[in-house]
Amino acid sequence: FVNGNPLGAGALSYDGGTGVSDRMVLVNGTAATEVSTATGPNSGSVVFAEDPGTTVAMEGCLIYANLGSLNDAYLDTVDGAVLTVAFTTVAEGVGCCKGLFDTNSNSTVNLYSNILMANVSGPGGGRIFDEPLAAGESRVADCILFEEDSATLPPPLDPGSQVAIASLPALFANFAAGDYRLRGGSPAIDFCDTFRYTPVTTDIDDESRGLDVPPLGGAPIGIYDLGADAWRPPLHTEHREPECPD
């Protein structure tokens, strides 16, 4: 997605009480920066949801290398909207944003089984959430690998379900080249279960999730890999029944 409208509200914008699900979305290189304060407070967020009854569910998404907004969060919710992000990899663009997520005016953000990387050099100084939680707002973060400089995540629902990233190169196939697929031995492999959230679709490569990789055996919580990519051993291929016409 590329947002070519400088007056728009980001690459993906939802309002008016709509319910939507975005699956396997690649959001890359979004030029959605504000051009003046007259464009409104949320004109540059990569994902923007507003209004009561608006629910947005994102799963199996890769969001990276976006310019975003200097004054707002990478993914922003306001006025009672609900955003659920699961099995997604989010890498804040260079020089972008006050934080990865925000909840404003009774809105909600639910985060499940994600890899979240907040850019330390951005205006947000490496924050997952750009502001402290206010009355009427709700935030959930379960099964999270994260990179940030400030402790902004809500308390974990389960012990050990939020782990700081020790090394980005050890996490991805080729982090320096922008390849955010998991590499063998990545700490994101076999990290979580489906107690809080069960995936409803495949990963970014259209491969099923939940393959146990011995000898990890579902450490620390389960056999599901975090982020947009579900890792496969080099010789593993999926068998699918042929689809024949009646």
In this prediction, residue 97 has a pLDDT band, given cuts at 50, 70 and 90, of: confident
Residue 160 class from Cβ within 10 Å (0-12 exposed, 13-18 middle, 19+ buried)? exposed
User: 76 to each of 10, 199, 222, how far by Cα in Å?
Assistant: 10, 23, 30
In this predicted model, what pLDDT tens digit does every residue of 31-84 receive, in sequence order? 433 332 333 444 467 788 888 999 988 898 888 776 666 677 888 898 999 999
Q: Report how far residue 45's alpha carbon sits from residue 9's, in angstroms, rounded to the nearest whole number.
A: 6
d(CA 10, CA 14): 10
pLDDT of residue 33: 35
pTM given for the model:
0.84
Work out the end-to-end distance of the chain between its first and last CA atoms, rounded to an integer number of angstroms. Answer: 38
- 178 or 111: which leads in pLDDT: 111
Q: Which residue has the higher pLDDT, 201 or 6?
A: 201
How does residue 219 score in pLDDT terms, banded at 50, 70 and 90? Answer: low
* 168 touches 147 (CB < 8 A): yes
pLDDT 10s digits, 101-142: 999 999 999 999 999 998 766 556 678 998 889 999 999 999
Residue 78 pairs with which residues in a beta bridge?
A: 50
Distances (CA, A) of 38 to 8, 24, 87, 229: 12, 33, 35, 39
At residue 9, the pLDDT reads: 47
How high is the pLDDT of residue 225?
A: 94
Whole-number pLDDT of residue 47: 82
Question: Confidence band (pLDDT; 50, 70, 90) for 239?
Answer: very low
Residue 123 tokens, joined: 């205006």
| % of residues, the chain, pLDDT over 70 | 72
Per DSSP, what are the bridge partners of residue 58?
Answer: 22, 85
Tell me what pLDDT residue 38 has.
32
- Whole-number pLDDT of residue 93: 67
The beta strands (E) that lie in the chain are given as 12-14, 19-23, 26-28, 47-50, 55-59, 62-64, 75-78, 82-86, 89-91, 101-103, 108-117, 138-147, 162-164, 172-174, 179-182
